[in-house]
């Protein structure tokens, strides 16, 4: 039965709850069970992220169509050739770099929910405009603009989810978010298989694939109406009464769903009369204990993007380079892409049982080993099998590090700090487009995977040797 007092309603409860300190809010969140109300919030955020992943991954699958239409070439004579497919990939990651480096701090200033909605609308509109362009420079420009919105959204979602869920389910929550998001990959692969080789209604197939991704704007406001602002962020900003009302509403839903009272939270270490909230300062990330974490994550992100996107963004093109036709390469790529959600499914089973850093290291090892084997194969069956194994390693790596890096910084500067370290992966991925194209032109597929293997070794060293442990620890505990 519900624990609401006689004559009380959820609305009256929201009006009557007293304010609480940031530490009290955090303690109350961390003792919540993994109830349906919590998972519903995670699902809504993940749904918005689905379009972000669709936008992020269609780069690989529209590539053959862009080449087929004559707008781009697979490789270029010079390293920085802007009519080559590498330029399109680079434009995507240039936008992502600008978004993560320059604008993610807005989520620390204006709130997680506001920036979640704004960035979703931003990249949906820019993607729609990009689909209508008729020259490589114009497509690159609008791809860059769309990438800015995606970059903001990537960090905002990670920050949002880490603050909404209790500590005992952070790993599973991030795995579930990725499970939902990664279903976008087989979707875009299937649409590319259907549309890219054709021109329905005289409209190039790749344009249809891109336009579908702009549909995210249609659900932005629906999500906004049903997802509250982060109570941790509100409390950190000194808006304690709002934080208490948001959390009281969630607690009431959980008690109504479970039919029992929530346990009392552990005693907080600070009182409601604690010092005024501190504003995020960029210089803090270069002070102990954050300096070591920042440097570790900068190195990690520099190399993980080469390994992750070096394969994910080039799957059809790498298959074509192995002698597979465009139509068949897209079919094989769809089979590989269909395995994407299975990585997060595995993650939901193990993410809160093993250390996050261990998951990252083992996933990077899998990419290195299976990637090296992929480079030596010519059999379509083995290419697909190894492609699936590389993909599982990549998605588990993504689950692990997206949860991991947001845990290492405090609420007041979480989006700012994560945006900064994550921007290194965007910068790396931007140049990886040229690096992969260069390696493919001069050394073939084996050269591409030699590059990827070297990057994964650096990833394992950075996190394995210098990353702190985070599993089942409160965000406050980790960030001090």
pLDDT, one tens digit for every residue, the chain (480 residues): 344 433 444 444 444 455 568 889 999 999 999 999 999 999 999 998 998 889 888 887 788 888 888 887 765 544 455 567 778 878 888 898 999 999 999 999 999 999 999 999 999 999 999 999 988 889 999 999 999 999 999 999 999 999 999 999 999 999 999 999 989 888 888 898 889 888 888 889 999 999 998 887 778 777 888 999 999 999 999 999 999 999 999 999 999 999 999 998 887 555 444 445 667 688 999 999 999 999 999 999 999 988 887 776 666 667 766 665 555 666 777 777 788 899 999 999 999 999 999 999 999 999 999 988 888 887 777 888 888 999 999 999 999 999 999 999 999 999 999 999 999 988 887 777 778 878 888 888 788 888 989 999 999 999 999 999 999 899 988 877
**pLDDT tens-digit readout, 142-171:** 999 999 999 999 999 999 999 999 999 999
Distance separating alpha carbons of residues 248 and 262, to the nearest angstrom:
11
CATH number, domain containing residue 70: 1.20.1250.20
Q: What is the pLDDT of residue 37?
A: 97
Helix (H, G, I), strand (E, B) or coil at 164: helix
Q: Is residue 433 part of a domain?
A: yes
Q: Is residue 75 part of a domain?
A: yes
**pLDDT tens-digit readout, 41-93:** 999 999 989 988 898 888 877 888 888 888 877 655 444 555 677 788 788 88
Q: Is residue 13 part of a domain?
A: no
- Could you tell me which residues come within 8 angstroms of residue 313 by beta carbon, excluding any fewer than 6 positions away? 57, 59, 60, 89, 429, 433, 436
Q: What is the pLDDT of residue 2?
A: 41
Closest C-alpha to 304, from 174, 455, 155: 455
Q: What is the pLDDT of residue 14?
A: 42
Q: What is the pLDDT of residue 20?
A: 66
Q: Is residue 204 part of a domain?
A: yes
Q: Is residue 3 part of a domain?
A: no
Q: Is residue 277 part of a domain?
A: no
Phi first, then psi: what are they for 78, rounded to 5°? -105, 160
Q: How many domains does the chain have?
A: 1
pTM for this predicted structure: 0.86
Instruction: Show the domain range for 419.
Output: 21-262+283-478
Q: What is the pLDDT of residue 302?
A: 93
Distance separating alpha carbons of residues 55 and 213, to the nearest angstrom:
6
What is the Cβ-side half-sphere exposure of residue 450, based on CA atoms within 13 angstroms? Answer: 9
Q: What is the pLDDT of residue 138?
A: 92
Q: What is the pLDDT of residue 297?
A: 98
Q: What is the pLDDT of residue 133?
A: 92
Q: What is the pLDDT of residue 174?
A: 97
Q: Is residue 267 part of a domain?
A: no
Q: Is residue 270 part of a domain?
A: no
Q: What is the pLDDT of residue 9?
A: 46
Burial 91-102 (b: 16+ CB within 10 A, else e): bbbbbbbbbbbe
């Amino acid at each position: 039965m519900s624990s609401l007092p006689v004559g009380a309603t959820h609305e009256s409860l929201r009006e009557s709850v007293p304010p609480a300190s940031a530490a009290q809010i955090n303690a109350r969140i961390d003792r919540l069970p993994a109830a349906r109300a919590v998972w519903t919030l995670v699902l809504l955020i993940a749904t918005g992220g689905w379009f972000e992943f669709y936008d992020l991954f269609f780069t690989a699958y529209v590539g053959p169509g862009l080449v087929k239409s004559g707008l781009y070439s697979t490789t270029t004579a010079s390293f920085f050739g802007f009519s080559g497919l590498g330029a399109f990939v680079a434009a995507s990651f240039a936008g992502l770099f600008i978004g993560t480096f320059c604008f993610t701090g807005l989520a620390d200033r204006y709130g997680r929910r506001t920036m979640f909605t704004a960035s979703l609308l931003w990249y949906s509109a820019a993607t729609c405009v990009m689909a209508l362009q008729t020259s490589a420079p114009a497509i690159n420009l609008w791809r860059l603009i769309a990438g800015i919105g995606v970059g903001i959204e990537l960090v905002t979602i990670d920050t949002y989810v880490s603050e909404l869920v209790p500590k005992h389910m952070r790993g599973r929550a991030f795995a579930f978010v990725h499970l939902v998001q990664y279903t976008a990959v087989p979707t875009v692969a299937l649409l590319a298989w259907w549309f890219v080789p054709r021109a329905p209604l005289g409209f190039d197939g790749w344009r249809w694939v891109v336009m579908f991704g702009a549909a995210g704007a249609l659900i932005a406001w629906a999500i906004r109406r049903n997802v509250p602002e982060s109570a941790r962020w509100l409390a950190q900003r000194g808006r304690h009464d709002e934080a208490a009302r948001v959390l009281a509403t969630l607690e009431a839903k959980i008690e109504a769903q479970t039919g029992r009272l929530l346990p009392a939270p552990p005693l907080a270490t600070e009182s409601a009369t604690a010092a005024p909230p501190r504003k995020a300062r960029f210089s803090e990330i270069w002070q102990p204990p954050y300096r070591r974490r920042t440097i570790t994550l900068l190195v990690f992100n520099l190399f993980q993007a080469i390994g992750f996107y070096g394969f994910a963004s080039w799957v059809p093109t790498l298959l074509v380079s192995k002698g597979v036709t465009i139509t068949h390469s897209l079919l094989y790529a769809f089979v590989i892409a269909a395995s994407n959600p299975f990585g997060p499914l595995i993650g939901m089973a193990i993410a809160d049982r093993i250390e996050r850093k261990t998951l990252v290291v083992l996933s990077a090892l899998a990419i290195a080993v299976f990637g090296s084997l992929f480079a030596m194969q010519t059999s379509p069956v083995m290419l697909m099998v190894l492609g699936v194994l590389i993909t599982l390693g990549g998605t588990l790596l993504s689950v692990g590090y997206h949860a991991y890096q947001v845990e290492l910084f405090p609420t007041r500067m979480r989006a700012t700090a994560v945006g900064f370290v994550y921007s290194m992966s965007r910068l790396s991925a931007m140049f990886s487009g040229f690096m992969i194209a260069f390696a493919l032109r001069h050394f073939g597929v084996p050269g591409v995977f030699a590059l990827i293997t070297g990057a994964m070794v650096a990833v394992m060293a950075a996190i394995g040797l210098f990353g702190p442990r985070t599993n089942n620890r409160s965000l406050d505990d980790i960030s001090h």
